Structure 1
Amino acid sequence: MSPLVFYLAHATVLGYALVGGVFLAFSDFIMRALSLTSGQGGAEAMQVINREVFRWVFMTLFLGLAAVSLVLVVHAAFWLDGALAMAIAAAGIVYLLGCFAVTVVFNVPMNEALAGMDPTQDATRSYWTGTYLPRWTFWNTVRTIACGLAATLLLFGLTALSRAQPT
């Protein structure tokens, strides 16, 4: 593994863990806290959160990790072999499918639907409690698990690589 990819992979473990930590906070207590507010308050707060998430730190990590994951998959496929290649490629694939794709296919459409709603309307409260909270939180938990699994797989792959290097 080239030194650049080696150090990039180490930083990626941290990135996977950081993004997964954000998702964990939402699945563990933020969504539960928002569900305890009035339907209007929780929906309105989530609308604001969904607008603020586009600030550069989180989005740079989230989108950057998708690109780096693709680099890791390609690198593992062409320049590594055996269990090491499988672990590193699997880490990238897990992030791409379990975090990035889940976000695009499930969470973002729900966020966009909520963004267009008036929090004071009964239809919004109904969507918030009956659809958004349970489904969004479920898919967010999938993203949390995917990030943790991707970090674990990549860490195992890098550990195996380090052990395989002559001293």
Structure 2
Amino acid sequence: MSPFFSLSLQLIVIAYALVGGVFLAFSDFIMRALAQTGGHAGVEAMQAVNRAVFRWVFMTLFIGLAPVSLAVAASGFIVGGGPGVMLTLAGLIYAIGCFGVTVVVNVPMNETLARMDAASDTARAYWTEVYLPRWTLWNSVRTVACAAASGLLLLGLLWLAETQAA
């Protein structure tokens, strides 16, 4: 295994974990706190969060990891064996379970919320009846996907290093 390949995989493990940590914070306490605001304030706060998330650090990691994950998955086929399976699974789990879920579920919900007047009864009903439970559930899926991708990639990397050391 080349030092560049090894270092790249190590950095990807950290990146998966960082993205997963952001999602974990939302599933664990941020959404619960916003739910306790009584509706309108929660809607306003989440609308602000959804505008602020487009900062370069998070988006570079989040979006950049999508093609990187596909490359990790492909490299698993090249590596082969047990370590290769781990790499392939890690890449696919991030690409589908994190990036794919975001594009298909969370972003459309964010866009719907963004178009609403935070003070309206329609926004409050959407927030409490649809957005909070559904968005949080799928955000938790993203959290688990990031953790699984990070763990599988770490295990694959360790297995690969151990195989080559023997």
Q: CA RMSD, aligned part only?
A: 0.9
Percent identity reads 57
Structure 2 alignment gaps of length 5 or more = none
Letter in 2 for 1:99: C
**Cα-to-partner distance string for 1:16-39 (whole Å, 9 max, x where unaligned):** 000000000000000000000021
Match in the other structure for 2:109: 110
State the number of aligned residues: 166
Match in the other structure for 1:37: 37
Q: Could you tell me how far apart the structure 2 residues matched to 1:109 and 1:93 are?
A: 22
Match in the other structure for 1:75: 75
Letter in 2 for 1:27: S
What TM-score results when the alignment is normalised by the length of structure 1? Answer: 0.97
Within-5 A mapping of 1:1-167: 1-77=1-77, 79-166=78-165
Q: Could you tell me how far apart the structure 2 residues matched to 1:52 and 1:166 are?
A: 46
Q: Could you tell me how far apart the structure 1 residues matched to 2:73 and 2:118 are?
A: 42
| 4+ runs deviating over 3 angstroms | none
Q: Could you tell me how far apart the structure 2 residues matched to 1:67 and 1:89 are?
A: 13
Letter in 2 for 1:40: H
Q: Could you tell me how far apart the structure 2 residues matched to 1:157 and 1:166 are?
A: 14
What TM-score results when the alignment is normalised by the length of structure 2? Answer: 0.97
Q: Could you tell me how far apart the structure 2 residues matched to 1:54 and 1:30 are?
A: 18
Structure 1 alignment gaps of length 5 or more = none
Letter in 2 for 1:133: L
